[in-house]
Amino acid sequence: MPHVIADRYEPVELLGRGGMGAVWRARDRVLDREVAIKEVTPPAGLDDEQIGRVYTRTFREARSAARLDHPGIVTVYDVVEEDGRPWIVMQLVRARSLAAIIKEEGPLPPERVAALGLDLLDALRTAHAAGVVHRDVKPGNVLLPPDRAVLTDFGIATVAGDETITQTGAIIGSPAYLAPEQARRQRASPASDLWSLGATLYAAVEGRSPYQRPDVWGVMGALLADEPDPPRRAGALAPVLHGLLRAEPGERAGHDEAERLLRRAAAGTPAPFAPPDSPAPVPPPPPHLTVDPGAGLPGGTPTSPPPGTVPPGTVPPGTVPPGTVPPGGVRTDGERHGPRWAVILPLGVFAVLLAAGVLSAAVFLTQSGEKNGRPGQAGSSAATASGNGSTGSPNVAVPAGYEPYRGPGFTVAVPKGWKAEASGDDVTFSDPAQGGRRGIAIQRIAENAADLGGSMADAAGRFENDTSYRDYRQVDFRRGFDYQGGDAAELEFTFTREGVAGRCRARVFRFNGAVYQTVLVTRADSWGQTVPYYETFLKTLRAE
């Protein structure tokens, strides 16, 4: 056991040991109180000059961490030198770590994890505002005294904006909780801490890290090349994890967006992630202000409820809530408008149509090549892409390996040999060589919509609770970008349908004076091969 440190701090009990040193419970002889004191031990294999740099950085960063005053951050009292090494003196928090609780109790409920996440996020917000980046947020550095979470071990924190002192190439931090940019040896930033926060919350709700591999090299390889393993227990916490665990720092949820998602998760009412620089998704309208998505809407799929019941989210027969538009286009407030769906459609109902259209396209995964069209649609006719009876020169440049297709109001290039099946304004294309298990659909879904991004975000929220999309995990969401001369929104996600792992990308945009969506659906294992077909489809789509 070490001797008295700096003639003041007397180590009493070893509390734990990690890659950067050991932590002791100690007695402060001057103030007669218990403290925690960290003995800093550099990584093995460093020469004297490199060790000196580690010590210099530790002194500097401990002083920076001592400026932080927050109930969710373990207070740094002092940094002293003993035997030429720095020792960091900290507040002693008598509590188990989150890592120990996960090990002993297993996965925690999503709502509890969300509440812990709010505490940790607030602590990180304070640190980042002071220019301090933690760099090693992980379950082992989260202490859980009653009714709160506390972040400890700012001993390897780095001051944002300062020059990095160490050039050793050693891994600083725990590989399973490192942000991808840290694994690439890029500078850590507040966004790096937020990724690590997401990984920590993932571990709390799933009982394991987002990259569980046999060894550290497997973890590092997966971190650099793979998506995080799909969460299975996250529930309302899933949008938070999707927002924080993004490979690119600029695409991650920031402090404000993470807080919004965590508060919704803590209340058990998840909200979809809105990428940076985009407005937060608008919540769907209350049920009494929406209509049956199949009632008079192009592409709608009305169903017949049992006698005496009203489908959720519809207006009971004979009921006209204030502000809605009954058949004939006259609102109850006296203002006349066009068709009722042009007024009510912009968000809630539109999202239902988006979800229904994507679900129809997802049937690609589980049908054979001879049944690759949309189910339940009479009057469809299957043909090869170029054999649809079109004549004349198409208004589209056709790359090698593709052939033109002229549909209702559009032309486009599709892969040679793919089958086309049309129904009204909707056309699906599928690959017979893959047994119909990959395809592209283009669908006219509305005449008008005010907020495409909000509607797509609303649809994404519905997918997470739709049993048709087992193992749903959002991969990407973009809104407000330009396509076809107007704004567009795009959602990408993975899911399982009847035991088949699939991946989908859906884009919604204004086209031909209406709102359309294109959908790519394929087996997950052929995603990389199929995406170029979809990108060519989008590039060559032209209005007729």
Q: 134 and 37, same structural domain? A: no
Enzyme catalytic residues: 136
**pLDDT score of 291 more than 60:** no
DSSP letter, residue 351:
H
- CA-nearest of 477, 239, 449, 476 to 353 is 449
List the single range of 155-164, 207-216, 282-291 with lowest mean pLDDT. Answer: 282-291
Model pLDDT for residues 5-23, shown as the tens digit of each residue = 888 999 999 887 766 678 8
The answer to whether residue 399 is domain-embedded is yes
Contact (Cβ atoms closer than 8 angstroms) between residue 521 and residue 439: yes
How far apart CA 2 and CA 430 sit, in angstroms, is: 71
Residues 6+ apart with CB under 8 A from 84: 55
DSSP letter, residue 51:
H
How far CA 38 is from CA of 16, 79, 140, 327, 399, in Å, comes to: 10, 9, 15, 73, 64
The phi and psi torsions of 489 (rounded to 5 degrees) equal: -140, 150
The answer to whether residue 80 is domain-embedded is yes
Q: What is the mean pLDDT of the chain?
A: 74
How far apart CA 80 and CA 168 sit, in angstroms, is: 24
Highest mean pLDDT among 123-132, 325-334, 355-364, 446-455: 123-132
Average pLDDT of the residues in 85-107: 90
**pLDDT score of 535 more than 90:** yes
Q: 470 and 363, same structural domain? A: yes
Q: 402 and 445, same structural domain? A: yes
Domain range holding 241? 98-160+174-266
Tally of CA atoms within 13 A in the half-sphere of 323 that contains its CB: 6
Domain of 526: which CATH number?
A: 3.40.1000.10
Tally of CA atoms within 13 A in the half-sphere of 516 that contains its CB: 23
Question: What's the pLDDT score for residue 61?
Answer: 77
Domain of 139: which CATH number?
A: 1.10.510.10
- CA-nearest of 457, 125, 487 to 280 is 457
The answer to whether residue 292 is domain-embedded is no
Higher pLDDT, 396 or 53: 53
Q: 62 and 131, same structural domain? A: no
**For the chain, percent of residues with pLDDT exceeding 90:** 24
List the single range of 278-287, 292-301, 439-448, 476-485 with lowest mean pLDDT. Answer: 292-301
Question: Which amino acid, residue 62?
Answer: A
Higher pLDDT, 396 or 256: 256
Per the structure, the count of domains in the chain is: 3
- CA-nearest of 482, 488, 492, 478 to 278 is 478
Contact (Cβ atoms closer than 8 angstroms) between residue 455 and residue 510: no
Q: Which of 234, 251, 266 is where one domain is finished?
A: 266
Average pLDDT of the residues in 125-153: 89
The phi and psi torsions of 445 (rounded to 5 degrees) equal: -115, -15
- Residue 419 counted as an annotated binding residue: no
Q: Which of 242, 266, 290 is where one domain is finished?
A: 266
**pLDDT score of 90 more than 80:** yes
Rg (CA), the chain: 28
Higher pLDDT, 428 or 324: 428
Q: 202 and 254, same structural domain? A: yes
The answer to whether residue 152 is domain-embedded is yes
List the single range of 83-97, 348-362, 465-479, 496-510 with lowest mean pLDDT. Answer: 348-362
Q: Measure CA 343 to chain center.
A: 31
Question: What's the pLDDT score for residue 413?
Answer: 94
Q: Which of 91, 114, 130 is where one domain is finished?
A: 91
The answer to whether residue 136 is domain-embedded is yes
Q: Measure CA 233 to chain center.
A: 15
DSSP letter, residue 365:
G
Model pLDDT for residues 482-494, shown as the tens digit of each residue = 999 888 989 898 8
Question: What's the pLDDT score for residue 204?
Answer: 95
Q: 148 and 73, same structural domain? A: no
Model pLDDT for residues 443-466, shown as the tens digit of each residue = 887 766 667 887 787 777 777 766
Q: For helices 190-206 and 255-266, give the axis angle rounded to 10 degrees.
A: 20
Q: 193 and 77, same structural domain? A: no
Domain of 74: which CATH number?
A: 3.30.200.20
Model pLDDT for residues 230-246, shown as the tens digit of each residue = 888 888 899 999 999 98
Question: What's the pLDDT score for residue 539?
Answer: 94
Model pLDDT for residues 158-173, shown as the tens digit of each residue = 544 343 333 344 444 5
**From start to end of 46-84, where are the E strands?**
76-82
